[in-house]
Amino acid sequence: MLKDAVEAERAERDQDADCACIDAAMVLSERDISALEEQQLDPDEMCKQWSAIRDRTILAIRDLVHNVVERASEAKATEEWMIRELSRGEKDARVMREFSAALKEVPTRGLVDYLRYLIKVGDRERIESVRMVFAERADRQAYDITFGKMLAQFALAEYGELGERLGRICRLAEKVDAKVANLFCAYSITNRSRALMPPPLAPLGAPTYDVIDHRHALSSSDFGRVN
């Protein structure tokens, strides 16, 4: 977890630097792939050459990606701490009790709408009531991501500069993940719409992090820590 604004500023600066290096490596990969397309190689040779570019690039950036994901994980942990701290603040127990009782009849989707409005007006007591009622809903899984993001945005905004830095650290990690996935998963080998994807890499053994979107074909496991 990042303890204060000083640590967050340092982490943000390091995140910027690592992301810039990753971007540079991505540009070189795109240039090499474009050069391959101009050589009119047969499909097997094209696949072999493209796989080599992919493997070389991943090996070059995997430590950087690991660091980017680690910082995002720390930022996310700090964000969760912020939410807990906001929940512990002084509140009017009567207001919370009465509002929570009224929310019992509100469908779960309606709780998301309530939260959106209460965040706009900054009503912490009722925000906490909505959070508590939402946590008890059996069907909350369908709304967990949206609800969680809204709470996180509220917490980050409440903490000012620290919150801004944490949010940016996470966004940079998401951008890196998207850039790598787009480069290596959206490649078409010919102009005749014939796709030829190289064989998948063997996992390199890195831990999995929730901060990054693992719906992409290349997950963080492709960027294992070098021993």
Q: Which residue has the higher pLDDT, 186 or 147?
A: 147
C-beta separation of 83 from 171 below 8 A: no
Q: Which residue has the higher pLDDT, 92 or 119?
A: 119
Q: Which residue has the higher pLDDT, 182 or 55?
A: 55
- Cα–Cα distance between 11 and 68 in angstroms, integer? 9
DSSP state of 142: G
**pLDDT range class, residue 22, cuts 50, 70, 90:** very high
Per the confidence metrics, is the pTM higher than 0.75?
no
What pLDDT is recorded for position 205?
37
What pLDDT is recorded for position 99?
86
Q: Is the pLDDT of residue 203 over 50?
A: no
Q: Which residue has the higher pLDDT, 198 or 165?
A: 165
- Cα–Cα distance between 147 and 111 in angstroms, integer? 9
C-beta separation of 222 from 62 below 8 A: yes
Q: Is the pLDDT of residue 143 over 90?
A: yes
Q: Is the pLDDT of residue 212 over 80?
A: no
Helix (H, G, I), strand (E, B) or coil at 197: coil
Dihedral sign (CA 107, 155, 211, 58):
positive
pLDDT in tens, 144-182: 999 988 988 888 888 888 888 998 999 999 999 888 888
Helix (H, G, I), strand (E, B) or coil at 8: helix
Residue ranges making up the domain that contains 88 = 5-223
* Structural domain count, the chain: 1
Q: How many residues does the chain have?
A: 227
Report the amino acid identity of residue 220.
Answer: S
The overall average pLDDT reported for the chain is 79
Report the amino acid identity of residue 72.
Answer: A
**pLDDT range class, residue 130, cuts 50, 70, 90:** very high
Query: How far does the chain reach from its first CA to its final CA, in angstroms?
Result: 24
Q: Is the pLDDT of residue 202 over 50?
A: no
Q: Which among 74, 86, 77 has a CA at the least distance from the CA of 11?
A: 74
Q: Which two tokens stand for residue 150?
A: 């809204």
- Cα–Cα distance between 18 and 64 in angstroms, integer? 6
The percent of residues in the chain predicted with pLDDT above 90, rounded, is 33
Q: Is the pLDDT of residue 72 over 90?
A: yes
**pLDDT range class, residue 189, cuts 50, 70, 90:** very low
DSSP string of 39-108?
Answer: TT--HHHHHHHHHHHHHHHHHHHHHHHHHHHHHHHHHHHHHHHHHHHHHHS---HHHHHHHHHHHTTS-H
Q: Is the pLDDT of residue 65 over 60?
A: yes
What pLDDT is recorded for position 87?
73
Q: Which among 202, 208, 203 has a CA at the least distance from the CA of 220?
A: 208
- What dihedral do alpha carbons 79, 80, 83, 87 form, nearest 10°? -160
What pLDDT is recorded for position 161?
86
